[in-house]
Structure 1
Amino acid sequence: MLFPTPALTAADERVLSDVDRMRDDLRHQLQGRPAKWAGGLRKFLTADAVAASNSIEGFKVSTVDVEDLMAGERDVDVSDENRAETLAYQQMMTYIQTLHSVPDFAYGKGLLNALHWMLQGHRHTERRPAGQWRPGPVYVTDARDPSIAAYTAPGVEQVPALMAALIDWLNADDRSHPLIRAAMAHLHLVSIHPWSDGNGRMSRSLQTLMIAREGVLAPEFSSIEAWLGRPGNTWEYYQVLGRRGPTYRPDQDVSDWIRFNLMAYHQQAQTVHARFERSGRVWNALTEFASGAGLDERPVTALHDVAMAGRVRRTRYERSEALSVQQAQRDLRELVSRGILEPVGRTRARFYVAGRSFPEHVLDLARTPVVLDDPYRD
């Protein structure tokens, strides 16, 4: 038995309508933007989702470090464990993003276990296998006292039947809104806890996959993983899951879970839109600055990374503009000689930050925080 999908209230319907409108507006706005600028935004949002979802599980890597790791940088100052977890999750998320338009797509045991292997294969052991249902019991321990089980998942003998029911549900159409179905899929999977480890990230990833399959926006613009990774939201995430009780009880109303997810969808849409607008203003301001300073327009890509992410590496700039090593080095040397950028570190680990002549008004634009509205508040 799975949790029944609750009926939406009038307030829920209004919030959901707002989310649909914001996502549709963003889709139209993206169509008019330069491909390399929009591509950079997509990479940032993917990295932000990976960093946030991993942080919920205790793997702390900044978004800019995740971006560098995703780009193949080796000299990133993170632990071996955090590097492995980041790259595994990024690999799985990249595959999920490619599935958004597969015509003969279907959910199945093989797909879910393959995704789990991408995420947890580097941790595979006989006692805690990756890519297959768990061989024994699993618990979610209390954050304040690990000796207390906050949640005990269904018995191992129930897992095959519960997962078969979930897969059937995923492949059916109950005429619910796709965002509501995605939220329910997250709840179903995290409650069944079918694997020995990685259940939280798999559940969040399944939600992202279902949003991607909806086809309105590229998945990196729709995932709520970055929103869930903010400390206050993570706490509330655990609270709303905890209200389901210490054992699997699907015969209950989960309206509060739907409301929580609608809040997440709405505020993440606000956040992405604000990032989109801020990034565009920074790009335009840097284009004007480059023109006034007699610079080629090409280095705007590097300057934009510095303004928005705090730094840029030569290899990242080189790939973004399809340059040779020599061309990228020459451009960055010129920016350093003018005091626009300042190098940090040596050789392969070197990156560049804003120098004394970097336009301060652009940094102010990039650092302006966004105020998020509560969609349930009149």
Structure 2
Amino acid sequence: MLFPTPSLSREDNRVLASIDEMRSALQDQVRSLPSRQVQRLRTFLTADAVAASNSIEGFRAATVDVEDLITGERDVEVSEENKKETLALHRMMTYIQTLHDAADFAYSKSFLNALHWILQGHRHQPRKPAGQWRRGPVYVTDARDASIAAYTAPDADAVPALMQELIDWLNTDDATHTLVRAAMAHLHLVSIHPWADGNGRMSRSLQTLMIAREGVLAPEFSSIEAWLGRPGNTWEYYRELARRGPQYLPDQDVASWIHFNLTAYHQQAQTVQGRLARAGKVWETLADFAQHAGLDERTITALHDVAMAGRVRRSRYESAEGLSLQQAQRDLRDLVTAQILTPVGRTRARYYTAGDRFPQTALDISATPMTLTDPYTPTG
């Protein structure tokens, strides 16, 4: 048995309609931007989602480090374990993003197990097999005391039947809004906990996959993994899951879970809109600066990375602008000579930060925080 999808309240429907409006507006904004700006934003949002989803499970890598790793940089100051987890989750998320328009797509046990292998294959061991249902009990321990089981998943013998029920549900269109169905899929999978490890990231990724399959907006603009990874939201996420009880009890009202997810969708859309607006203003400021300083227009890409992420690497700049190694090195060297950038480190691990003559206005715009509103709190 799976959790029944609750009926939406009037407030839920109002918030859901607002989310749809925001996502439609985002779609129009994205279409109007130059392709390289869109690609930079998509890379950042993907890296932010990877960093956040892994952080929930205790694997730490800053978004800027994840950006470097997923764009091919290897000399990043991240532990080997965190590097492996980052690249594994990114591979799975990249695959998920490619499935948005697969015409003959269908959910299956084999498909979900294959996704799990992509995520956990580097950790495969007989007692904790990757890409296979777990063979024994699994517990979610209390965040404050590892000796206490906050949640005990269903018996291993029940997993195959529960997963078949979930697969059947995923392949059946019940006319429920995709964002609501995606939230329910997340809850179903994380509650069944079918694998020995990786269940949280798999559940969040399934939610993202369902959004991708909807086709309205690229999943990196709609995924709530980055939102869930913020410390305060992670705590609320655990608390919301804990409301389901210490054991698998699907015959209950889960309206609060939908409320929680609709808040996440709304605030993540606010965050992306804010990032989009801020990135655009920074780009315009840097374009004006480059023109007055007599810089080649392509260098704006490097300066934009510094303003928005705090640094730029030669390899990232070279790839983004399609430059040769010599061209990228020459541009960055000229920016250093002009005191616009400052080099940090040596040889392959070197990156560049803002120099004394870097336009402060761009840094100020980038550093200006935005305010998120609670969609369920009346305004005016």
Give TM-score scaled by structure 2 length: 0.99
Cα RMSD (Å) of the superposition? 0.4
Matched position secondary structure for 1:158: helix
Encode CA deviations 1:241-295: one digit per residue, 9 max, x unaligned.
0000000000000000000000000000000000000001101110110001111
Pair 1:183-2:183 in alignment = yes
Encode CA deviations 1:302-348: one digit per residue, 9 max, x unaligned.
00000000000000000000000000011001100011000000000
Equivalence for 2:220: 220
Q: Which amino acid counterpart does residue 50 of structure 2 have in structure 1?
A: V
Structure 1 residue 106: deviation in Å? 0.4
Equivalence for 2:199: 199
Matched position secondary structure for 1:128: coil
- 5 Å matches for 1:1-378? 1-378=1-378
Structure 1 residue 161: deviation in Å? 0.3
> How far apart, CA to CA, are the structure 1 residues paired with 2:287 and 2:105?
42
> How far apart, CA to CA, are the structure 2 residues paired with 1:309 and 1:49?
15
> How far apart, CA to CA, are the structure 2 residues paired with 1:118 and 1:329?
35
> How far apart, CA to CA, are the structure 2 residues paired with 1:29 and 1:142?
42
Matched position secondary structure for 1:133: coil
Encode CA deviations 1:22-64: one digit per residue, 9 max, x unaligned.
0000101111111011000000000000000000000010000
Structure 1 residue 145: deviation in Å? 1.2
Q: Which amino acid counterpart does residue 133 of structure 1 have in structure 2?
A: W
Matched position secondary structure for 2:371: coil
> How far apart, CA to CA, are the structure 2 residues paired with 1:298 and 1:122?
39
> How far apart, CA to CA, are the structure 2 residues paired with 1:74 and 1:210?
31
Structure 1 residue 71: deviation in Å? 1.1
Deviates more, 1:136-145 or 1:349-358: 136-145
Q: Which runs of structure 1 show a deviation greater than 2 angstroms over 4 or more consecutive aligned residues?
A: none
> How far apart, CA to CA, are the structure 2 residues paired with 1:267 and 1:97?
22
Structure 1 residue 69: deviation in Å? 0.5
Structure 1 residue 148: deviation in Å? 1.0
Q: How many pairs were matched up?
A: 378
Structure 1 residue 144: deviation in Å? 1.2
Structure 1 residue 143: deviation in Å? 1.1
> How far apart, CA to CA, are the structure 1 residues paired with 2:189 and 2:13?
25
> How far apart, CA to CA, are the structure 2 residues paired with 1:341 and 1:51?
27
> How far apart, CA to CA, are the structure 1 residues paired with 2:363 and 2:191?
44
Q: Which amino acid counterpart does residue 264 of structure 1 have in structure 2?
A: A
Matched position secondary structure for 2:145: coil
Structure 1 residue 72: deviation in Å? 1.2
Matched position secondary structure for 1:23: helix
Encode CA deviations 1:143-165: one digit per residue, 9 max, x unaligned.
11111111000001100000000
Encode CA deviations 1:54-90: one digit per residue, 9 max, x unaligned.
0000001000000001011111001110000000000
> How far apart, CA to CA, are the structure 2 residues paired with 1:188 and 1:341?
49
> How far apart, CA to CA, are the structure 1 residues paired with 2:140 and 2:340?
50
Matched position secondary structure for 2:46: helix
> How far apart, CA to CA, are the structure 1 residues paired with 2:140 and 2:32?
46
> How far apart, CA to CA, are the structure 1 residues paired with 2:117 and 2:343?
39
Structure 1 residue 297: deviation in Å? 0.4
> How far apart, CA to CA, are the structure 2 residues paired with 1:116 and 1:46?
19
Structure 1 residue 178: deviation in Å? 0.2
Structure 1 residue 301: deviation in Å? 0.3
Q: Which amino acid counterpart does residue 47 of structure 1 have in structure 2?
A: A
Gaps of 5+ in 2: none
Give TM-score scaled by structure 1 length: 1.00
> How far apart, CA to CA, are the structure 1 residues paired with 2:235 and 2:157?
31
> How far apart, CA to CA, are the structure 1 residues paired with 2:50 and 2:73?
16
Structure 1 residue 5: deviation in Å? 0.2
